[in-house]
Amino acid sequence: MIKAAGVMGFPISHSLSPRLHGYWIKKYGLEATYVAWEVPPERLAAKLKNLPDLLGENGELFRGTNLTIPLKEKALEIVDIVEEDARAIGAINTVVVEGDGLLIGRNTDGIGFIDSLAEKIDVADFKGKTALVLGAGGAAKAIVFALIKMGFAKILITNRTRTRAEELADHLTDGTEVLDWDERESVLSQVSLVVNTTSLGMKGQPALEMSLQGLKAGAVVTDIVYTPLKTGLLLEAEKNGFVAVDGLGMLLHQAKAGFEAWFGVRPEVDADLREFVLQGLADK
């Protein structure tokens, strides 16, 4: 039986997931397909619940789906079983259809973030250290969760709208502290990892105003924005001699667990995949 999976979002045309999974399907010679669905939030429950019975154009059986903005939180309420990490984050990005038709909800964004950093540095070195998270939206939840998993002793969260940072810190309490947005540069001397989870610095968005002058020696700077790949923040990091990790890695690494669960092959993230996905980005 040909296996299939997809990605649901609203809109969906921007998604690089079909290109990414399509690359792996070809690379590993699988008889499988991966499709994109534009699903308005109010149609999500019907669409997800129908997944186990859905047949693709060539009779494929759907093994699951990815979820992207703005469906990740809502999907958590719909699936039959929510894995522990996803429950803690409060959102799911991956659904796996079990043999009995049950829908399992997972969140692989946190582990994708960790795996992306681990490509460049030894993440075990962060144990007991301090991180600074810029932003408190959907992406920040999975990242703060990942930082707790990595063993950071202190996670400073700052957001333009302070109440959102407070809500996030109340939800994921281990070591989290909230700072005013204007204080973001004043704490840099104690920070070993800076993460931008805001949309600032993205193509078409305002720049992220942030000097890294006072940042602790040997610190790492990462951005979840990947258009452009080298954001102003990452350029500033490199200019000052810090390790910079771009946002594309998280997108690539979060996809591994779903692919493995649906199609039975643990895929690899390598330079060729990166290049191929980047080309897709240039075409968008």
C-alpha 137/C-alpha 159 separation (Å) is 9
Measured between alpha carbons, how far is 126 from 219 in angstroms, rounded to an integer?
A: 10
CA–CA separation, 218 and 120 (whole Å): 13
Give 112 or 138: the residue with its C-beta nearer to ligand ATR.
Answer: 138
Angle at 115 between CA 264 and CA 136, to 5 degrees: 115
Name the active-site residue from 3, 47, 72, 154: 72
Residue 161 touching ligand ATR (CB under 6 A):
yes
Tokens for 23, please give them: 């690359």
The DSSP symbol for 216 reads: P
From 143, 144, 200, 248, residue interacting with ligand ATR (rule: CB under 6 A): 200
Residue nearer to ligand ATR on the CB measure, 181 or 276? 181
Of the ranges 33-41, 131-139, 167-175, 264-272, which one interacts with ligand ATR (CB under 6 A)?
131-139
CA dist 225 and 222 (Å) reads 9
Residue 140 C-beta: closest distance to ligand ATR, Å? 6
Q: Does the protein bind ligand ATR through residue 232 (CB under 6 A)?
A: no
Of positions 136, 172, 233, 277, contacts ligand ATR by CB under 6 A: 136
d(CA 198, CA 121): 23
Q: How many residues bind ligand ATR (CB under 6 A)?
A: 15
- Answer yes or no whether residue 105 interacts with ligand ATR by CB under 6 A: no
Distance from chain centroid for Cα 104: 18
Q: Is 199 in the site for ligand ATR (CB under 6 A)?
A: yes
**Per CB under 6 A, does 173 bind ligand ATR?**
no
- Told to check if 92 binds ligand ATR by CB under 6 A, we report no
The angle at the Cα of 188, spanning 238 to 115, to the nearest 5 degrees, equals 60
Among this protein's residues, is 26 annotated catalytic? no
The residue whose Cβ lies closest to ligand ATR is 137
Element of type H or E holding 284: none
* Binding flag, residue 212, ligand ATR (CB under 6 A): no
Contact 23, 277 (CB under 8 A): yes
Residues assigned a catalytic role: 72
Q: Please report, as ranges, the residues that interact with ligand ATR according to CB under 6 A.
A: 135-140, 159-161, 164, 197-200, 206
